[in-house]
Amino acid sequence: MDMDMETMDDTHHEHQAADSTAATGGHGHSHDLDPALFQEFAATSEPLGTIMILHIFCMVIAFGILYPLGMVLGLAKNRWHVPVQILATAIFIVGYFLAHAHDGRNYEPHIAHRWFATIVIWIVSLQFGAGVYLKLHLERGIHARIRHWFVRVHKLLGASIPVVGYVQIVLGVIATLGFCYADHTGQCLAHFIMGSSFVAYGILLLLSLRVGGPWLLRRGKSPEWYDSWVIMLWGIVNTFTEHRWGSAWSHGDYQHTSMGIIWWVAGLLGILLSRNGKRTVVPSILIILTAVAFQGHAQHVPNSGQIHSYFGYMLMAGGLSRIIEICFVWKEGDFSIKPWQYIPALTLTLAGCLFMGSTEEQLGLLSTLMVDVSSYSNILLSFGFAIFMFAFVLIMLWEHLTGYNADYQYTEAPPPGFDRLEQQDSQRHHHNAANNSSREDDDDDDSDDRHLLDNDFLHDEDAVELKPTHRIE
């Protein structure tokens, strides 16, 4: 497998190999190579080497698995939170030093993966330091006044680590292959940013579906209200950033800028229609229109049209399934989950992975290696299914650890037999409280918000009084 990877890399770097190998002596590792040595790719043609492969493995384990798992355990106040965080940090440190000890392939000294690593180190260090401070349980004097700030910083940084870790992993993949360099930077950024946005959108839809219903109902907002705000803001950014002002307009500039305009206009309409908690299909229609636009997007690489069409169909499926879910599947006040409701979140996640894998350089490498687009798409979709499954497992783990009962729904009026159900609900909470008493409490000051989406919000004076019932299937 390693030999195949090295052969692929040698193929797409071969036109640069002579100069870079001569400059580095064909071996060794340096962070101070002359940037002029790198013409089209940001990496030399030497093999990755065993140490670099171990570095990649450590970082994927730490940021791709352990830190997200530790975040969920922390939100649930589980006693395994601290051991998992320590293990993840230890693996991260090992991986960091491996990155500075490897031989073989060298990289352009100003790649994003290198400078972003500094940000990751600071975030991990601050979060770890805040956690150590909280474990000391210093609660007298000035510590009593600043402790709650450390609690908030610890939580905020802990929740951000999986996100910055994901970014660093993506930048690492790009750096390993030497992609997104020189003239390819713009289109590469567009694909990875937009693709990651669709993946994040899918995961947020899954989160909203599993545990967000009562939270949304409490605030009197629909999911589309938040969707529309994000769409509008994202459209404004695209409108003014896709074209380099002062330079000539290209077909790509016209396509991306016009897409930004329709996004912020449609976002405004969605905000208007989804006010007062009403649901609307405007974001779903916009997703379908975006899919149509991408299918007609002019491409520079011959096999690019096929994978962009595949992406467009997947995105259309996400938008269409969301319309069906809103208009025909969803019932007001009923938060029981139907199988159909997973389709929008899943298809958006798959579409995002397809789009991230369809840059010019990636597809050019496929042509060189004579790999068909269908086989390549299957690999990308496999990553999409794995990401969705991992997100689902983390959400289920949080539900299990916190005692959040996904089998309950909420309505505005108590149904017949409510007294019996309320008694069962009370017994369930007492049972969970007994289990929680054995958990190790990292920060006592934060006990009031032990469960981010717990049913304690029902006691809010400004909230609609909601009553738990069993699911209606």
Count of helices and strands (H, E) across the chain? 16, 2
**Residue 26 — left, alpha, or beta (φ > 0 → left; ψ -120 to 50 → alpha)?**
left
pLDDT in tens, 450-465: 444 444 444 444 444 4
Q: How many CB atoms lie within 10 A of CB 361?
A: 20
CA–CA distance, 373 with 364 (Å, rounded to integer):
11
CA–CA distance, 171 with 422 (Å, rounded to integer):
51
Least confident piece of the model among 24-28, 54-58, 298-302, 346-350: 24-28
pLDDT in tens, 181-216: 777 777 788 888 889 999 999 999 999 889 887 788
CA–CA distance, 201 with 40 (Å, rounded to integer):
33
Helix (H) or strand (E) holding 158: helix 142-177
What pTM does this model have? 0.77
Per-residue confidence (pLDDT) for residue 429, from 0 to 100: 52
In the chain, the domains with their CATH numbers are 1-178 (1.20.120), 189-402 (no CATH), 408-470 (no CATH)
Handedness of CA 338, 394, 233, 354 (dihedral sign): negative
CA–CA distance, 255 with 237 (Å, rounded to integer):
14
CA–CA distance, 291 with 297 (Å, rounded to integer):
10
- Alpha carbons within 13 A on the beta-carbon side of 201: 30
DSSP codes, 252-294? HHHHHHHHHHHHHHHHHHHHHHTGGG---SHHHHHHHHHHHHH
At 65, the pLDDT band (50, 70, 90 cuts) reads very high
pLDDT in tens, 136-146: 888 888 888 88
With pLDDT > 90 as the criterion, what percentage of the chain qualifies?
38
pLDDT of 383 higher than 90: yes
At 300, the pLDDT band (50, 70, 90 cuts) reads low
CA–CA distance, 432 with 429 (Å, rounded to integer):
5
pLDDT of 169 higher than 90: yes
Cβ atoms 383, 353 nearer than 8 A: yes
DSSP 8-class letter at 439: S
Q: Which two tokens stand for residue 453?
A: 């989406």
Phi, psi (deg, nearest 5) at residue 454? -70, 165
CA–CA distance, 38 with 44 (Å, rounded to integer):
8
Comparing 104 with 456, the larger pLDDT belongs to 104
